[in-house]
Structure 1
Amino acid sequence: MRERHLACLGPPGFHRVAYREWPGPAGAPTLICVHGLSRNGRDFDAIADALSEHYRVVCPDMPGRGRSDWLTSAADYSFTLYLADSVALIARLDVESVDWLGTSMGALIGMMLAAQRGSPIRKLVLNDAGAFVAKEGLNRIGAYLGNDPAFDSLDALKADVRANNAPFGPLTDDQWRKIALDCARKRPGGGYGFAYDPRIADPFKAGPVADVDLWSVWDAIQCPTLLLRGEMSDMLKRDVAEAMTKRGPKVKLVAFEGVGHAPALLSADQIGAVRDFLLA
């Protein structure tokens, strides 16, 4: 695995997007993995390791997260910019097509790209997000997102991450520790904070967030698609997931018991579901 950087152009000028790449075997297809709203590309370390025998795997940090630049204006944290950066990344990788694995926000970016005429996305995997995003889940995340707390220790940060992300499901203490370390940053004044720009939460601070209807996007997708869902998800409701199997690309649906939003893609069954679909 190696870390690289890409200069992307947005409204205020260039910003740097960091990404990690598992080269894979010669001539392997490319898989891009994109994280959720407040997370970063390190969420995919385990599945990238598992798939790197078959794929070139690329895991970017979207702007304002992980090791990528924070943007000058909070208003630029938008799907318009994320889509443009994703297209720039695909161009950098110099491939005609890619497979796409997205969690939550990353799933929505993948949907929007796959819905475009002539899209380079060959296969699409959506992790607990789809054609209709429920406001209950968005407002739950908005309740803690962007508070920018300071922690005296990594253990204190881990406890907070574990409480806020309990819907990830039953994980080991070592897995929780990695999840916490991957989203931690040292604060200039000492202690630790989260590795994202708190201003990504600005849209939530404007008031209660409404449902997000993306059925028109869904109906335009034609590539083979796999939908993963946590059975207790408050972001992707069961009736929406089931309806997605009957229209648009008529997705294959796999649900995981004891998990909410979103499956962490750390367990053998979750990784296996993705591997089986991509390698079929």
Structure 2
Amino acid sequence: MTEPRLNHVQCLDGRGLHRMAYWEWGDAANPRVLVCVHGLTRQGRDFDTLARALADEYRVVCPDVVGRGRSDWLADPAGYAIPHYVADMVTLLARLDATTLDWVGTSMGGLIGMSLASLPAAGGSPIRRLVLNDVGPTIEPAALQRIGTYVEQPVRWASLDEAADYLWSISEGFGPHTREQWLALTAPQLKPDAAGGLVPRYDPAIALPLRGVTAELAAAGEALLWAAYERIAAPTLLLRGAQSDLLSRATAQAMTARGPKATLVEIAGVGHAPTLVQPEQVAIVSDFLLSP
């Protein structure tokens, strides 16, 4: 299979219902499920390469978190927050009828997975193995400021190549990519506008909740995330871009000693965050997920 199936699931929010899109690879009857969740401004097609590599082993499901990709935008931007995303994922898991699953989460997707894996559940968490891609309970403030500077900016491009050049200028932390790889990552990020140009496929309002984060709120959130991390029982792989400005080496090392005592693998020549497109990165994740 070279292309995924696009499906939707209805989820509840404070104003009513919204549709969350998800991309599905492999046999829909396969009880072995892998859920892959993207970063703040991205969408589920980021995982095409990883999904193709694992579709013979798993039913691979890559949602577009609400406000991104082919999912609806929220009427109330306050809903763009981790607890709401976790609730959407619980709805998705019910749709998939998945009693156990593995999880790969990049940045925001890792925070969603961490939160979900920490929830008390009769019979234990549904998450069997957890991959956290360049994220942890402590998030460096400078990285959030860097990301916030471009999320809300109105941008429009005349062509895919022009968009790819701009997106690369703000994404060099993803590490080396061929032009073909970068265009493949860029195209699903875009949608046409009424004038025939291209615009990002996400709601700029996803950044609004970040504006209200004070130092006190950030400290409280960090404490809650560490408490959640301590409750995770699933074997955990932690990937860190060796030049990451979001996940510090100190935080990564602490994650190997606390909670699930994650196995840490650093990716040389990459910042925030590894895209899991390069063969060696795919192999690291595949080996962890498929090991006995």
Q: Could you tell me which of 230, 239, 256 is aligned with 2:267? A: 256
> Matched residues, percent identical?
49
Is residue 2:24 matched to residue 1:21? yes
1:181 paired residue number? 187
1:208 to 1:161, Cα distance in 2 relative to 1, 3 A: farther
Q: Distance in 2 between matches of 1:174 and 1:4?
A: 27
Q: Could you tell me which of 120, 133, 142 is aligned with 1:127? A: 133
Is the 8 Å Cα contact of residues 148 and 194 (structure 1) preserved in structure 2? no
1:2 to 1:25, Cα distance in 2 relative to 1, 3 A: closer
Q: Could you tell me which of 93, 109, 123 is aligned with 1:106? A: 109
How big is the shift at 1:130? 1.0
> What secondary structure sits across from 2:257 in the alignment?
coil
Q: Could you tell me which of 82, 87, 94 is aligned with 1:84? A: 87
How big is the shift at 1:215? 1.2
How big is the shift at 1:28? 4.4
Is residue 2:49 matched to residue 1:38? no
Q: Distance in 2 between matches of 1:149 and 1:264?
A: 23
Q: Counterpart of 1:10 in structure 2: which amino acid?
A: D
Q: Distance in 2 between matches of 1:221 and 1:230?
A: 22
> What secondary structure sits across from 1:43 in the alignment?
helix
2:57 paired residue number? 54
> What secondary structure sits across from 1:226 in the alignment?
strand
Q: Distance in 2 between matches of 1:205 and 1:95?
A: 36
Q: Distance in 1 between matches of 2:41 and 2:162?
A: 18
Q: How does 1:202-221 map to 2 (within 5 A)?
A: 202-206=208-212, 210=218, 213=222, 214-221=225-232
Provide the TM-score with structure 1 as the length reference. 0.96
2:76 paired residue number? 73
Is residue 2:166 matched to residue 1:160? yes
Q: Counterpart of 1:112 in structure 2: which amino acid?
A: S
RMSD: 1.5
How big is the shift at 1:217? 1.2
Gap regions ≥5 residues in structure 1: none
How big is the shift at 1:204? 3.5
Q: Which runs of 4+ in 1 moved over 2 A?
A: 23-28, 203-212
Is the 8 Å Cα contact of residues 24 and 56 (structure 1) preserved in structure 2? yes
Provide the TM-score with structure 2 as the length reference. 0.92
Q: Distance in 2 between matches of 1:203 and 1:95?
A: 31
1:233 paired residue number? 244
Q: Counterpart of 2:71 in structure 1: which amino acid?
A: S
1:146 paired residue number? 152
How big is the shift at 1:188? 2.0
Question: What is the CA deviation profile of residues 37-78 of structure 1, one whole-angstrom value per residue up to 9, with x for unaligned ones?
Answer: 000000000000000111110000011100000111111111
How big is the shift at 1:190? 2.8
Q: Distance in 2 between matches of 1:189 and 1:73?
A: 27
Is the 8 Å Cα contact of residues 151 and 204 (structure 2) preserved in structure 1? yes
Q: Counterpart of 2:8 in structure 1: which amino acid?
A: H
1:278 paired residue number? 289
Gap regions ≥5 residues in structure 2: none
> What secondary structure sits across from 2:151 in the alignment?
coil
2:276 paired residue number? 265
Question: What is the CA deviation profile of residues 143-166 of structure 1, one whole-angstrom value per residue up to 9, with x for unaligned ones?
Answer: 111212111222211111000100
> What secondary structure sits across from 1:123 in the alignment?
strand
